[in-house]
Amino acid sequence: MDMSKDLVAASATPLVLAILAEGDSYGYAIIKRVAELSGGHLQWTDGMLYPVLHRLERQGLVAAKWSAAENGRRRKYYRISKEGRVQLAAQRQQWRTVDGALRGIWMQACTV
């Protein structure tokens, strides 16, 4: 399925925030989780996740921390902040509204 670019971009923030709400994570794991959640339909270009994460960090919605990994290299972990949770709740409300409206009209189309 080919998703429209705008839709992918718009859903990036709530998805990332929701995944981080499950627990701290890092870029590669977030991408894996997105693929898993969408059954492989939501394919992000891997690199593009990072500018999104950095933007969220600047907005104070997530906090980042470098932690040492097994073999001397380090990995950057992201954690959702309090503002991030507030934002997630707001986004959730908005998506529910959109979802509800679309569902309503599509159900009607089915029954007519």
Partner 1 sequence: MTAFADQPLEDQIAQWRTYLRRRQALHSADVEELEVHLRDQLVALTEVGLAGDEAFLVAVKRMGSLDALSREFARAHSERLWKQLVMAPGAETPADTGRAEIFVVLSLAVAAALAVKVPALFGHPINPNDEPPLFYARNASLFVFPLLTVYFLWKRGLGVVSGLWLALPFAAAAVFANVFPFSTRSNTEVLTVLHLPIALWLAVGFAYVGGRWFAGGGRMNFVRFSGELAIYYVLIALGGFAVILFTFMMFRAIDMNPDWFVAGWLIPCGAAGALIIGSWLVEAKQSVIENMAPVLTRLFTPLFTLLLLVFLATMAWTGSPINVKREVLIGFDLLLAVVVGLVLYAASARDAQAPPDFFDALQLLLVASALVVDGVALAAIAARISEFGFTPNRVAALGENLILLVNLAWSAWLYAGFVRRRSSFAVLERWQIAYLPVYAVWAALVVVIFPPLFGYR
36 is a contact residue toward partner 1 (CB under 8 A):
no
Question: Rule CB under 8 A: is residue 107 a binding residue for partner 1?
Answer: no
Shortest distance in whole angstroms from residue 88 CB to partner 1: 20
Using CB under 8 A as the binding rule, whether residue 55 contacts partner 1 is answered as: yes
Are 66 and 74 in contact by the 8 Å Cβ rule? The answer is yes
The structure tokens listed for 76 are 């950057």
- What is the chain's Cα-based Rg? 16
Are 34 and 14 contacting, i.e. CB atoms less than 8 angstroms apart? no
Among 4, 45, 93, 108, binds partner 1 (CB under 8 A): 45
| DSSP-assigned letter for residue 25 | B
**Nearest approach, Cβ of residue 17 and partner 1 (Å):** 16
* E strand intervals along 9-109: 62-68, 74-80
Interacting residue ranges for partner 1, rule: CB under 8 A: 26-28, 45-48, 50-52, 54-55, 58, 69-71, 73-76
